Amino acid sequence: MLPASLIVKKRDGGELTRSEIRFLIDGLVTGQVADYQIAAWAMAVVLRGMTPAETAELTLAMFESGQRLERDSGQDGGSRGRRPRLDKHSTGGLGDKVSLILAPLLACHGVVVPMISGRGLGLTGGTLDKLESIPGFRVDLEPAEQSRQLDRVGCFIIGASDRIAPADRRLYSLRDVTGTVESVPLITASILAKKLAESLDRLVIDVKVGSGAFMKSLPDATELARSLVETGRLAGLETTAFLTDMDQPLGRAIGNAIEVNEAWEVLTGKGPPEVAELTVRLAAQGLADVGLADSSEAAVEGLRRSLRTGAAAERFLRMVEAQGGRFTGKLPLAPMTEIVAPRLGHVAAVDCARLGRAVVELGGGRQHLKSPIDPAVGLEILVRIGDPVAAGQPWLRVFGELEEESMRELSSAVTLADEPVAPRPLILDTLGGNR
Ligand code: URA
């Protein structure tokens, strides 16, 4: 089979067969198909799309290019009996620290959470970078350590080793430099190939929508959510997708150490209500999906209780300790400067891209995969869309140093209206899953 004929077939809108997709992905991993041919094929996919069957085949081929986290009796609860395996994935957004809270929270409710997370790139932060702001925290556990931790603690959060979906790693690096990242089937296969490697019973995906997210509009985000649910079903991983608002940051903290501090507040029953609410709703859906609750509504109160009583906080500390971290409740932050509202009004919009750029400029985010991160810098946004503000009221805190010009730019990241503005709903829609 010649790769060129497959590229032409896709370019002309044809549907590739299972063996044709396997041929391309095997060739990508072994180096027998040239990078430029894979890139040309990826562009044909961007322009022509893929059918659900093709997307599922691509997902499975990329997953099978690597290893999976094996499920053995130890991982599933040992003497405690079989426990369901569940994970949550987010497509990424500003201030999204849900994973830090959700993994230990679910572990308190009889679920095993083997979470493989990523690093931040560009405007959105990465869960691994946030956790690494805890001194000593290790994101690279050996398989035996992983099993032991799932058995004893019920959750871990680690990075993907080279053995997890290596085809995705190679394909993503080609897509990144050839303008082919933004394709719903390619994004779908990339996300699900890595999640299939976790040997899960169910997956919950939080598709972020808005100016601070990958998907800026509701129709685009809905298309991705549908594709994730349908491909998950075809590939053997039942998935529920939430569409949630990212026209403003989630919670107040944006950065690394500062987000761990906020996650800790939520874990101890405090913190911004919207962070707790979204975490509880995603976790409740997961419990309903694996059959540990009659409905997601029925699971909500128990999950809230675990935040109020400190049970989830205690589980977080056990996870951190098991992964070598030393955390006593508050990580140090860089010196702070406050920005105040210029006049009276109502918060109408927040420019997430501008906030994200400021975090990168402070040194808290990265332009390139290998750039170092300063964990102590970040932002705190003290207002949400719909809030009334008075002239001179503090509305942004900057931890770290910015040039005067950037400080001025940052001051205009929040737009005021004269008339009252309705607050935005947090959860816009849910697709798939048990109710
Ligand atoms: N996240 C992924 O893991 N893959 C993509 O292609 C895009 C976002």
Question: For 233-283, what is each residue's pLDDT tens digit?
Answer: 999 999 999 999 999 999 999 999 999 999 999 999 999 999 999 999 999
- State the distance between the two ends of the chain, measured CA to CA, in whole angstroms: 46
Q: Whose CA is nearest to atom 6 of ligand 1?
A: 187
Q: Is the CB of 285 under 6 A from ligand 1?
A: no
4-49 belongs to which CATH class?
mainly alpha
Range 86-165+197-328+427-431 has CATH code 3.40.1030.10: yes
427 - beta bridge partners?
244
Q: Start-end ranges of CATH 3.40.1030.10 in the chain?
A: 86-165+197-328+427-431
Q: Start-end ranges of CATH 1.20.970.10 in the chain?
A: 4-49
Lowest mean per-residue pLDDT among 13-17, 121-125, 219-223, 325-329: 121-125
What average pLDDT does this structure show over 123-136?
90
What average pLDDT does this structure show over 67-80?
65
Q: How far is the CA of 195 from the centre of ligand 1 (A)?
A: 11
- Helix (H), strand (E) at residue 417: strand 414-417
Q: Start-end ranges of CATH 3.90.1170.30 in the chain?
A: 336-417
Q: Is the pTM of this model over 0.85?
A: yes
What token pair was written down for 244? 């949630």
Dist. CA 329–CA 263, nearest whole Å: 10
What token pair was written down for 332? 């140090």
What average pLDDT does this structure show over 338-355?
96
- At residue 122, does pLDDT exceed 90? no
205 contacts 239 by C-beta, under 8 angstroms:
yes
Q: Is the CB of 187 under 6 A from ligand 1?
A: yes
> 341: helix, coil or strand?
coil
What CATH fold (topology level) applies to the domain 336-417? Aldehyde Oxidoreductase; domain 3 (3.90.1170)
- At residue 320, does pLDDT exceed 50? yes
Exposed/middle/buried for residue 65 (C-beta within 10 Å: 0-12, 13-18, 19+) = buried
Dist. CA 218–CA 223, nearest whole Å: 9
Q: Is the CB of 58 under 6 A from ligand 1?
A: no
155 contacts 115 by C-beta, under 8 angstroms:
yes
DSSP single-letter state for residue 388? E
Exposed/middle/buried for residue 364 (C-beta within 10 Å: 0-12, 13-18, 19+) = buried
What token pair was written down for 158? 């680690």
Task: List Cβ neighbours of 36 (8 Å cut-off, separation of 6 or more).
Answer: none
> 295: helix, coil or strand?
coil
* Mean pLDDT across the chain: 94
Using most ligand atoms within 8 A of CB, pick from 45, 180, 187 the residue to mutate for ligand 1. 187
Q: Whose CA is nearest to atom 3 of ligand 1?
A: 191
Q: Whose CA is nearest to atom 7 of ligand 1?
A: 187
What pLDDT sits at residue 75?
Answer: 47
